[in-house]
Amino acid sequence: MAMINEHDALTAPASVAGVEGDAGDFFALLKPRVMSLVVFTALVGMLMAPGEIHPVIGFIAILAIAVGGGASGALNMWYDADIDLMMGRTAKRPIPAGRISAETTLAFGLFLSVFSVATLGLMVNWLSAGLLAFTIFFYAVVYTMWLKRSTPQNIVIGGAAGAFPPIIGWACVTNSISLESIALFAIIFLWTPAHFWALALFKSEDYGRAGVPMLPNVAGERTTKNQIVLYAVLTAISGIVPAVMGFAGLVYGGVAAVFGAAFIWYSLKVWRMPDGDKKMIPAKKMFAYSLLYLFVIFTALLVDALAPKLMGLVA
Amino acid sequence: MDRVELTEQQKKARRSRSVALAIVLAVLAVLFYVVTIIKVGPGIFNRPM
């Protein structure tokens, strides 16, 4: 029998899964692509907020929000390792692939959650820290542990977790929640269903195998397509709200209107797609466009917020 | 007495984790130092004992 002393206990025998993960695997636990969206939207919320924040404090706030978002991703991967193994899209994640153990991932996720919230609270303010803690709880517990496996409305309600970062970014500067930051929240919140259901349409076999009750599996393709159009229209409307409320300019409003109209157009292409279509090209295009849409909207908001300041510097 | 021998791949992974951890700790030390100066100001060293 092998003897393992205290130090070696940290590096278990080769026969035990989950010891070969390198730094890249731990980074993958943070869901870097989701994290990039979190960072970007939080940054836009921060830069649009009225008021000033010291650049170093702002950098630390974004870092803490990114780590908090990553922590919730790790907790999601810990809890969902069983279904990740059954889906092609997720089977190569560190836990199902056997490179990092579930216990290590849980500890990693919990530590980063506490660390990111404490850092944000101590260095920025406790409102933003509280919002970050709530976001992590909402994604890891409400969405991952409860809604995801129990209702086809999982990503509608769970989408709130992904929509919180601009509110947190805003709160870092103002120490408050305002109608403007809620309007930014609404854009991402209403965008999420159309984005995920487009994916769920062409990945429905995967979700079916894993037993996740996504809308196409539970209510069928037709209902899903109707819902995609509905949420695309709501997203397009929410996109122009910042211009209507007056905290973004007319140029932004024009960009949001054009890209929102295209979002609806792509959703109608999905709606016209025959039921039982195998290739699902319109759904794949809708999914890709939805990512572009959100990126363009938040970039336009960023430019709209920064342009006057930059022009003031030049003048 | 048998001892656990790590494979080459495990040693490589451990090294990668150690280097990443060292970099993260170093960056945090610098960040916390800078934030302390920003938050408390240059008068941090000028406090009554």
pLDDT of A132 = 98
Average pLDDT over residues A277-301: 95
What is the tens place of the pLDDT at every residue in A193-207? 999 999 999 998 888
Q: Do B20 and A56 touch (CB under 8 A)?
A: no
B interface mutation test: which of A22, A111, A115, A123 has the most B CBs within 10 A?
A: A22
| Percent with pLDDT over 90 in chain A | 83
Average pLDDT over residues B20-43: 90
| Alpha helices, H only, A80-174 | 81-84, 102-123, 126-137, 154-163, 165-174
Average pLDDT over residues B3-24: 91
| Percent with pLDDT over 90 in chain B | 47
pTM score: 0.89
Contact A256, A183 (CB under 8 A): no
Question: Containing H/E element for A272?
Answer: helix A250-272
pLDDT band per the 50, 70, 90 thresholds, residue B5: confident
Rounded to 5, what percent of chain B is helix, strand, coil? 75, 5, 20
Residues of B in contact with A23 (CB under 8 A): 16-17, 19-20
Pairing mode, strands A2-3 and B2-3 = parallel
Q: How far apart are CA A156 and CA A47, in angstroms?
A: 27
pLDDT band per the 50, 70, 90 thresholds, residue A88: confident
SS3 B3: strand
| Burial grade of A59 (CB within 10 A; 0-12, 13-18, 19 or more) | middle
Token pair 């999914």: residue: A287
Q: Is B17 in the A-facing interface, judged by CB distances under 8 Å?
A: yes
What values do phi and psi take at A278, rounded to 5? -80, -40
Q: Is A12 in the B-facing interface, judged by CB distances under 8 Å?
A: yes
What is the tens place of the pLDDT at every residue in A126-149? 999 999 999 999 999 999 999 999
Q: Do B35 and A2 touch (CB under 8 A)?
A: no
Token pair in block for residue A15: 């026969």
Task: Examine the pLDDT at A8 and tell me if it is beyond 60.
Answer: no
